[in-house]
A and B are shown apart, each in its own frame.
Chain A
């Protein structure tokens, strides 16, 4: 029984080595790069968010009549 169980684990291992995520290179970078990427996402959000540009300042000045 124990032997059978060990063999199943070994089969699973070799299956995963052949077909599994080891077929993929580069995910580690994606995952370990997490912190930088999160910081980047915030930066991206800032890009699309409200900014007080000269155009907007002029609008405020003109609107204050």
Chain B
């Protein structure tokens, strides 16, 4: 049975992908230009997106790339380590990663062989949420499957990570992206609690 993806779910998937995009790699010129064109309505999330868009329009590609570098690559290591294992245990490649790999196998999701980072990177998890919603890995996942994945692998630490991104020393544009992420995760938590 193929489940229809409702418009509000399509929008959730887009926002997951959009956040993943900025966290997976330094943004390109087109990413920054599209970010500058984003608008939002009078809600917490809408305002956060507006702030992000406005700042993006005043940020150069060099600035945002330097910011990404300082935050996630750095000399030796970046300011933040955006991995579930690190946030949940204090170490990389720990049990949360093993658990994620099991769940991925069960859902028929595999890591692209060209990717070297562990699967519990925030961008990978957000991308997986998007894929579950729109059915990139087969049929769209039911709400209860999405909820289980979200609660096990995302909501346990993503809000904490986005709060760190808001407060990081090297964050400028990424601070506003952190707010977008934190608000969105809060909304997802509330929405899942209603299902």
List A residues at the B interface (Cβ < 8 Å): 8-9, 11-13, 15-31, 33, 36-38, 40-41, 43-44
Query: Known contacts A17-B8, A44-B29: does B191 contact A24 (CB below 8 Å)?
Result: no
Contacts of A25 in B (CB 8 A): 38-41
List B residues at the A interface (Cβ < 8 Å): 6-8, 11-12, 14-15, 17-18, 21, 25, 28-31, 34-35, 37-41, 43-46, 49, 53, 61, 143, 184, 187, 190-191, 194-195
CB contact between A15 and one of B15, B41, B53, B190 (< 8 Å): that residue: B190
Where chain A touches its partner, the secondary structure class is helix
Do the beta carbons of B28 and A37 come within 8 Å of each other?
Answer: yes
Report the minimum CB–CB distance from B89 to chain A (whole Å). 31
Do the beta carbons of B14 and A21 come within 8 Å of each other?
Answer: yes
Do the beta carbons of A22 and B53 come within 8 Å of each other?
Answer: no
Query: Known contacts A13-B6, A21-B8, A24-B11: does B28 contact A44 (CB below 8 Å)?
Result: yes
12 A-B pairs, CB-CB below 8 angstroms?
A9-B143, A9-B195, A12-B195, A15-B190, A15-B194, A18-B43, A19-B187, A19-B190, A21-B184, A26-B34, A31-B18, A40-B28
Which residue from chain B places its CB closest to the CB of A21 in the assembled complex? B11
Do the beta carbons of A16 and B8 come within 8 Å of each other?
Answer: yes
Within the assembled complex, what's the spacing in Å between the Cα atoms of A16 and B25? 29
CB contact between B8 and one of A20, A30, A33 (< 8 Å): that residue: A20
Report the minimum CB–CB distance from A35 to chain B (whole Å). 10
CB contact between B12 and one of A16, A26, A30, A40 (< 8 Å): that residue: A16
Do the beta carbons of A33 and B25 come within 8 Å of each other?
Answer: no
CB contact between A13 and one of B8, B21, B31, B35 (< 8 Å): that residue: B8
Do the beta carbons of A21 and B45 come within 8 Å of each other?
Answer: yes
Do the beta carbons of B37 and A26 come within 8 Å of each other?
Answer: yes
Contacts of B191 in A (CB 8 A): 12, 15-16, 20
Q: Which of A13, A24, A30 neighbours the largest number of chain B CB atoms within 10 Å of its CB?
A: A24
Chain A to chain B: the 6 pairs with minimum beta-carbon distance, closest first: A23-B46, A41-B28, A21-B11, A37-B30, A26-B38, A12-B194
Which residue from chain B places its CB closest to the CB of A44 in the assembled complex? B28
Do the beta carbons of A20 and B45 come within 8 Å of each other?
Answer: yes
Contacts of A27 in B (CB 8 A): 11, 14-15, 17-18, 38
Query: Known contacts A12-B195, A37-B28: does B40 contact A20 (CB below 8 Å)?
Result: no
Do the beta carbons of B21 and A30 come within 8 Å of each other?
Answer: yes
